[in-house]
Amino acid sequence: MRMTMILLINLLLTAQLFAQSGIELYNPGERAVTETVIEIPWKTVLKAYPKIDTTQLQVLSGGENIPYQLERQGKSNVQNLLVQLSIEAKKSVTITFKKAKPAPVVPKAFCRFVPERFDDFAWENDRIAFRIYGAALNGRADNAYGTDIWAKRTSDLVLDKWYKQNDYHKDHGEGLDYYQVGLTLGAGDIGVFLKDSIQFIHNYRSYEILDNGPLRATFRVNFDPHTFNGTTVHEERTVSLDAGSQLSKVQVRMQHSFKNKLPVVVGITLRAEKSSLLLDETAGVLGYWEPRHGDDGTLGIGCVFPTLPRSMFEKYAHGLARLDVASGETLTYYTGGAWDKAGRISSSGAWFDYLKMFAQQVKSPIAIKVK
């Protein structure tokens, strides 16, 4: 009898410890989230698993290992646990922790400085790739201001390979760079909007990589101060891209001397041929389905705004979202694209639906609770 009681107490204690090591992730939205990176504050993880050892950690769902990343945001200590999961609408998934050698995670997000191509900075995930241009291009005939997008139809990371081959303007089966940026905002860049005109902040001066995969790549770039119509503006931009997402998260912090909130625009370059443009101020979605580019196919470009813009409009060969930013305030938005030849999104309707769904998921984030 005594032995039975001891076994029962041990079982109860084990069950209690197991329950304390679980975190419930609930999807409050009307649609499933698929292969989505979920950010769990590290203090929540410690509450669920106080004796955690980051060198001996497996994260499980349904008893199976799931991919994760310890996000540091450029700091020495872990800030968040990132996990990649699919969760049905109005359903929850519980993750648990196990002290064991971490399971390998295939890198799905990556960023880097590219000194071999002037001073590009490029980033990618398993869906899409982007780059911006550094100060080395300022004043050159081939200068470009805005964000460039690379069309991919492989889940492999290709930046290193494509830059090394130096032939990425041709499709060799993985995709190519055919997007035209020039002296425009390109695929969702930001500019000052004074006297009813776009004022370009030019190209970044310095960079810092904060996290580099396997599930999220994050970097920060700084721009030289510029003076527009008597207003001096200094921009700091932090960009992150998650595995499985078509859109990057952009956080722009502007120090400026404008007497009020500074008018800015986030924009998408429009082509000469007529094509579908979505200006949905209510949902905070700016979307564009480009005209077909011969055999290269079609790119969809889009932006999502958690803080609704004052207005959206078409002007200066751009689709524009107008916002106001106080000095020192951080403006957050999402921007990115999809290529029809990648096989996931192949029409304007599907692209605009994706953007609206993304906007809804931003407004209804995954609820996190220690069990």
Same domain, 315 and 185: yes
* Cross-strand pairs, 231: 228
Q: Same domain for 204 and 68?
A: no
- Give me the half-sphere count of Cα atoms (radius 13 Å) on the Cβ side of residue 105: 22
Q: Is the pLDDT higher at 356 or at 14?
A: 356
Report which secondary-structure segment, H or E, holds 7: helix 2-20
Q: What is the pLDDT of residue 141?
A: 86
- The answer to whether 67 and 107 have CB atoms below 8 angstroms apart is no
Helices (H), the chain: 2-20, 42-48, 159-165, 348-363
Residue 309 lies in a domain: yes
260 part of a folded domain: yes
218: containing domain: 109-363
pLDDT tens per residue across span 43-79: 999 999 999 999 999 999 999 999 999 999 999 999 9
pLDDT reported for residue 33: 96
**Backbone φ and ψ of 154, nearest 5°:** -135, 150
Closest by Cα among 254, 210, 203, 207 to 233: 254
**Model confidence over 86-116: pLDDT tens digits?**
999 999 999 999 999 999 999 999 999 999 9
221 and 176 in a common domain: yes
Q: Residue with structure tokens 């050698």?
A: 101
Same domain for 75 and 166, yes or no, is: no
pLDDT digits (tens, 9 = 90+) for 331-359: 999 999 999 999 999 999 999 999 999 99
Q: Which of 50, 73, 105 is the last residue of a domain?
A: 105
Which of 105, 132, 166 marks a domain boundary? Answer: 105
- Residue 18 is assigned to a structural domain of this protein: yes
Looking at residue 139, its pLDDT comes to 85
The residue-averaged pLDDT of 225-236 equals: 95
**CATH assignment of the domain containing 357:** 2.70.98
Among residues 71, 105, 139, which one ends one of the domains? 105
- Residue 31 banded pLDDT, cuts 50, 70, 90: very high
Q: Is the residue at 371 inside a domain? A: no
Q: Is 57 in contact with 49 (CB distance < 8 Å)?
A: no
Reduced to 3 states, what is the DSSP secondary structure of residue 23? strand
Model confidence pLDDT, tens digit, residues 281-292: 999 999 999 999
Is the confidence at residue 6, as pLDDT, over 60?
A: no
pLDDT at 2: 54
The DSSP 8-state label assigned to residue 134 in this structure reads B
> What's the average model confidence in pLDDT over 357-368?
97
Domain containing residue 63: CATH number: 2.60.40.1180
Is there a single domain that holds both residue 43 and residue 180?
no
> If you average pLDDT over residues 231-253, what whole number do you get?
98
Distance CA 316, CA 301 (A): 17
Q: Are residues 277 and 350 in the same domain?
A: yes
User: If we measure between CA atoms, which residue out of 247, 23, 213, 248 comes closest to residue 105?
Assistant: 213
Q: Confidence class of residue 5 from pLDDT cuts 50, 70 and 90?
A: low
- 368 is a domain residue: no
Instruction: Assess whether 96 and 130 both reside in one domain.
Output: no
Residues 154 and 222 in one domain: yes
- Check pLDDT > 90 for residue 280: yes
Task: Please give the angle made by the CA atoms of 318, 331 and 269, to the nearest 5 degrees.
Answer: 15
Of the listed ranges 139-143, 174-178, 181-185, the one predicted with least confidence: 139-143
Measured distance CA(129)–CA(152) in Å, rounded: 7
- Predicted pLDDT at 17: 43
In a domain, 370, yes or no: no
Which residues, including other chains, have CB under 8 Å from residue 278's CB and lie 6 or more apart? 285, 286, 287, 288, 302, 352, 355
Calpha distance 367→357 (Å, rounded): 17
Total tally of structural domains belonging to the chain? 2
19, pLDDT greater than 90: no
Residues 227 and 175 in one domain: yes
Q: Name the pLDDT band for 24 (thresholds 50, 70, 90).
A: very high
pLDDT at 142: 87
**pLDDT over threshold 70, residue 318:** yes
- Together in a domain, 257 and 115: yes
Residue 205 sits in the same domain as residue 291:
yes
Whether residue 99 sits in one domain with residue 75: yes
Please state the rounded mean pLDDT for residues 21-49.
Answer: 95
pLDDT at 137: 92
What single letter denotes the amino acid at residue 349? G
Sign, CA dihedral 357-358-360-361, equals positive
